[in-house]
Amino acid sequence: MWINLLTNALKFSANRERAVIEVGGRQDDGETIYSVHDNGVGFDPQYADKLFGVFQRLHSQREFEGHRGRPGYRPADHSPSRRAGLGGRRTGPRCYLLLYSSSERRLAMTYLDPVDILLVEDNPHEAELIIRALKKHNLANNLFAVKDGAEAWISSSARVNMPNDRWSISPRWCYLI
Amino acid sequence: MGQLIDDLLAFSRLGRTQMQTASIDMAALVTSVFQELTTPQDRERLDFQLAPLPSAIGDRP
């Protein structure tokens, strides 16, 4: 989890002359919350709902190569830092198995409980291999396999109860690339 | 592909191991991950701020 979050923070702040990465944590009302902030590429707050949903990638690959100018894109200087934490706020197909829990007990339990797995793999042979491996270890019970991010979005929206049409990330959802 | 298979094998081994819950020092964990992910040159241009972190209960390898 930390490798994932810190890699993202490093990646998204790579084009800053001086990258700032802040790692924090607190315990609040039975929840333990860890957060990673960076001063890298930001997002327009109007897309916050989408960011907190499944992986909609707001930044094209080009932006990370130094070519900005996507319509509607607001540079980081005018928006809050991207923030990872609270169930995973990065876009992109990442695995957020566990970022917070209601209690320490739950934190331990999460690894033991069966997890829902959304497999996003466009190569059918590799998808088949992964599905076989997961089945072999009785992990495929809650497996949904899709080909790309758009399908993943539709699939998640359709399968998950969405109060007020808003997808909330459950700590028991695991995304695999 | 090779990496994928290695990871799946590691994952399958994880599934067979009894979980050993213990308190995890998150600050130490984050520091070690950060050191692992960055080179000394990287760290020269990085301002890494680590606040005190609550510990977590987890499976210690």
Q: What is the pLDDT of residue A29?
A: 67
Closest CB to B47: pick one of A18, A130, A137. A18
For residue B60, the number of C-alpha atoms closer than 13 Å in the C-beta half-sphere is: 11
Contact B51 A22 (CB under 8 A): yes
Neighbours of A71 (CB within 10 A): 4
- Say if the Cβ atoms of A137 and B11 lie within 8 Å: yes
**CA B48 to mean position of chain CA atoms:** 17
Residue percentage of chain B with pLDDT more than 90: 39
Q: Give the mutation candidate from A4, A6, A109 for the B interface (greatest B CB count, under 10 A).
A: A6
Distance separating alpha carbons of residues B36 and A61, to the nearest angstrom: 25
Written as one letter, the residue type at A137 is: H
Q: Find the CB nearest A25 among B42, B53, B58.
A: B53
Residues 6+ apart with CB under 8 A from A1: A96, A97, A98, A99
- Taking an 8 Å cut-off on Cβ atoms, the answer to whether A21 and B1 are in contact is no
Chain A residues with CB under 8 Å of B31 CB are: none
| DSSP H or E stretch at residue A132 | helix A124-136
Q: How far apart are CA A34 and CA A52, in angstroms?
A: 16
Which pLDDT tens digit goes with each residue over A72-127?
223 332 223 333 333 333 333 222 333 333 333 333 333 334 455 667 777 777 77
pLDDT of res. B49: 92
Chains A, B: CB contacts within 8 A come to 80
Q: Is the dihedral of CA A31, A32, A34, A35 positive or negative?
A: positive
Contact at CB, B58 and A107, closer than 8 angstroms:
yes
Name the residue facing B30 among A23, A32, A133 (closest C-beta).
Answer: A23
pLDDT of B15: 62
How many CB atoms are located within 10 Å of the residue B3 CB? Answer: 7
